[in-house]
Amino acid sequence: MTNQHNAKLTTNTGAPVGDNQNTMTAGVNGPVLLQDVHFIEKMAHFDRERVPERVVHAKGAGAHGVFKVTNDLTKYTRADFLSEVGKETEMLARFSTVAGELGSADTLRDPRGFSLRFYSEEGNYDLVGNNTPVFFIRDPLKFPDFIHTQKRNPQTHLKSTTAVWDFWSLSPESLHQVTILMSDRGIPASFRHMHGYGSHTYRWTNAEGESFWVKYHFRTDQGVQNLTAEAAERLAGQNPDYHTEDLFYAIEDGEFPSWTLSVQIMPLEDAAKYRFNSFDVTQVWSQKDYPLIEVGTMTLNRNPENYFATIEQAAFSPANIVPGIDFSPDKMLHGRVFAYPDTQRHRIGPNYNLLKVNQPKNPINNYQRDGSMRSDNNGGSDVYYEPNSFGGPKESPVDKYATLKIEGIAGNHSYQEDDFYTQPGDLYRLLSEDEKQRLVDNIVGGLSTVRLEEIKIRQTKQFYKADKDYGERVAKALNISIDQIK
C-alpha cells in the first residue's frame, strides 16, 4: 500500500477523514468525544507501533542486492542458485552490532552481524554469520548466559564489564573470539569495510549425492578498514548511526559495496582426522589445509524503501536452507536452527513468513492454515490436508535432507577436544608490534574496570596460556605479578 498522490486521507477502513488537525470535543473547551473514531484509530495504532526489538543484534542496517556466480562449483553442491556461472539471485543483507539496543551506537566494540538472504528459485537460503570466523562459545546451552553478560545488569540497569570478563574468564573457549574482538578488527570502519563469515561448518551435497563440509568467507572488495578506539568513542557520541548512514548514502550515491564469496571445502572423511574438531565454531580451518575457492560476488545496490517493513521485519534464520545445503554436526548451529524461527514467531508473529520481505520468490505450497495476522488468502478453498485425492502439493523425495551416520550414547557430552590456546596464540604471534600493543591496550581498557581482582587474574592467565608474551604484557599493564598468572 503506497499513498496515491494528492489522494483523500482515509481511515483504515477507507472512510474519508474530515479533520486531521482538531479532535472532536463537546463544545470548544469540552472533553474529547469517544465517537471521534478517526482520533481513536490513529492513536490506538500509534500505541502499537513497536514490535519487540531483536533479543540480540537489535541495531542494524540493511540493503537489497544481487549475487552473481563466477565459478562452477556444481561438483560440490546442487544448490540451484549456484548452478551456473553468470546466474544472478536477488539478495537481502543486514549488518548489525550484537549487544546494544535498537538505539545504541554503531561504533561500539562488538562483533558485527552479517546476515544474508538469497531469494533462490528453490526457497530462501539464509546465511546468518558475523564479521568474525569464530564465536565465543560452542554449546548453545551457554548462549542465554553469555548474552545476559552482554546486556544490562538487572539491578543497576548498567552494562557490566565485570559480568562480561567473569563469563569469558570462566569460558576459555571464548579466548579466540575475545582476541579478535579486542584487536583492530573489533571496530570496523564501516559495514562496507569488513569481511563476513558463515562461521559454522555447513554441508554441501552435489547432484550425485556426494557431500562435503564447507565454510563460507565473504571478503570485502572495499578492503578491510577499522576505527581506532578513540575515533570510535568520539563517533559514538557525535553520530551513533555512523555505520547506518555510511551504508545508506554509499548506495544512494551509486557506490555499491561488494564482497567476493569463497569457500573452504573439506572432504567428508577428513573431519574425523583433522587436528581440530571441524565442527567447533571456536576454531578455524587453516587455509593452507583447505584453500579458498571462489564462488561469486555479492553487490548491494538498492536501499530499502521502508526500514521497518524490510529490515526490522526481516526474519533471517540459519534454519532456512535449500536443496544441496545442509547442517553439520555443530551443536551451536542446531541450537540456532531452533532459536531464530522461535523468536520470530514471538517478535513478529506466527505468520511472519507471509510478510513481503520474508516471502520466497517461488510459491509457498503447503497445508498450514490460519493463525494471527494471516494476511494472504489462507489457502482459499484448496485442499487443506495431506495425503489427499484432490491433487494437493506432494513431497519430493529427491529433496530429502542429506543423511548422516550417527552412533553413540545419548547424554550431555562435552567436546572431546579442549585446545583453547593454539589458535588464539597463533593469531597473537601473527600481529605486528603495533597491533599487539593496541590489542593489549584494548583488553586493559576493559579489564581494568572489572570490580573483582580474581577475574582479572583468571583472564590474564588465559592470555598467558595462549602466549607468554601476551599474558605478561596484560599482567604488567594491570599491575598483576607474573607469578600470579603462571
Q: 57 an active-site residue?
A: yes
Rounded-to-integer distance, Cα 437 and Cα 435, Å: 5
Three-class DSSP category at 104: coil
Candidate residues 77, 190, 199, 201; the one interacting with ligand HEM per rule CB under 6 A: 199
Which is closer to ligand HEM, CB of 85 or CB of 309? 309
Rounded-to-integer distance, Cα 406 and Cα 419, Å: 24
- Return the H-helix or E-strand segment holding 443: helix 433-447
Rounded-to-integer distance, Cα 460 and Cα 353, Å: 46
Q: Which residues are annotated as a binding site for heme?
A: 340
Residues 6+ apart with CB under 8 A from 232: 107, 108, 109, 187
* Cell 485442499, residue located: 383
What residues from 63 to 82 belong to the interface with ligand HEM (CB under 6 A)? none
In 287-415, DSSP assigns E strands to 293-302, 325-327
182 forms part of the interface with ligand HEM (CB under 6 A): no
* Cell 489457502, residue located: 379
What minimum distance in Å lies between the beta carbon of 307 and ligand HEM?
A: 13
> Grid coordinates representing 335?
541450537
374 forms part of the interface with ligand HEM (CB under 6 A): no
- CB-based closest residue to ligand HEM: 113
What minimum distance in Å lies between the beta carbon of 269 and ligand HEM?
A: 26
Handedness of CA 339, 118, 290, 406 (dihedral sign): positive
What residues from 328 to 357 belong to the interface with ligand HEM (CB under 6 A)? 332, 335-336, 339-340, 343-344, 347
Rounded-to-integer distance, Cα 151 and Cα 157, Å: 9
Candidate residues 60, 123, 240, 424; the one interacting with ligand HEM per rule CB under 6 A: 60
Which is closer to ligand HEM, CB of 68 or CB of 347? 347
The packing angle between helices 143-150 and 331-347, to 10°, is 60
**Vertex 456: Cα angle to 453 and 462 (nearest 5):** 145
358 forms part of the interface with ligand HEM (CB under 6 A): no
Three-class DSSP category at 10: strand
What residues from 265 to 284 belong to the interface with ligand HEM (CB under 6 A)? 281
Which is closer to ligand HEM, CB of 346 or CB of 451? 346
What residues from 410 to 429 belong to the interface with ligand HEM (CB under 6 A)? none
92 forms part of the interface with ligand HEM (CB under 6 A): no
Candidate residues 113, 196, 424, 425; the one interacting with ligand HEM per rule CB under 6 A: 113
Which of 223, 182, 329, 186 is closest to 268 using CA atoms? 329
Q: Which listed residue (38, 57, 200, 243) is catalytic?
A: 57
- Eight-class DSSP state of 375: -
Q: 12 an active-site residue?
A: no
Binding mask 124-153 for ligand HEM (x = CB under 6 A): ----xxx----x----x--x----------
What minimum distance in Å lies between the beta carbon of 240 and ligand HEM?
A: 18
- Return the H-helix or E-strand segment holding 165: helix 161-170
What minimum distance in Å lies between the beta carbon of 118 and ligand HEM?
A: 14
> Grid coordinates representing 219?
571478503
314 forms part of the interface with ligand HEM (CB under 6 A): yes
Which is closer to ligand HEM, CB of 310 or CB of 460? 310
Rounded-to-integer distance, Cα 115 and Cα 316, Å: 7
185 forms part of the interface with ligand HEM (CB under 6 A): no
* Cell 555499491, residue located: 256
Q: Which listed residue (124, 130, 320, 353) is catalytic?
A: 130
Which is closer to ligand HEM, CB of 140 or CB of 445? 140
Rounded-to-integer distance, Cα 381 and Cα 366, Å: 13
Which is closer to ligand HEM, CB of 24 or CB of 337? 337
216 forms part of the interface with ligand HEM (CB under 6 A): no
Residues binding ligand HEM: what is the number (CB under 6 A)?
29
Give Cα separations from 148 to 131, 142, 182, 226 (angstroms).
21, 10, 20, 27
Which is closer to ligand HEM, CB of 75 or CB of 346? 346
Amino acid at 106: D
From 4-12, 56-64, 255-263, 449-457, span contacting ligand HEM (CB under 6 A): 56-64
115 forms part of the interface with ligand HEM (CB under 6 A): yes
Binding site for ligand HEM (CB under 6 A): 54-57, 60, 94, 96, 113-115, 128-130, 135, 140, 143, 199, 281, 314-316, 332, 335-336, 339-340, 343-344, 347
**Residues annotated catalytic, as ranges:** 57, 130
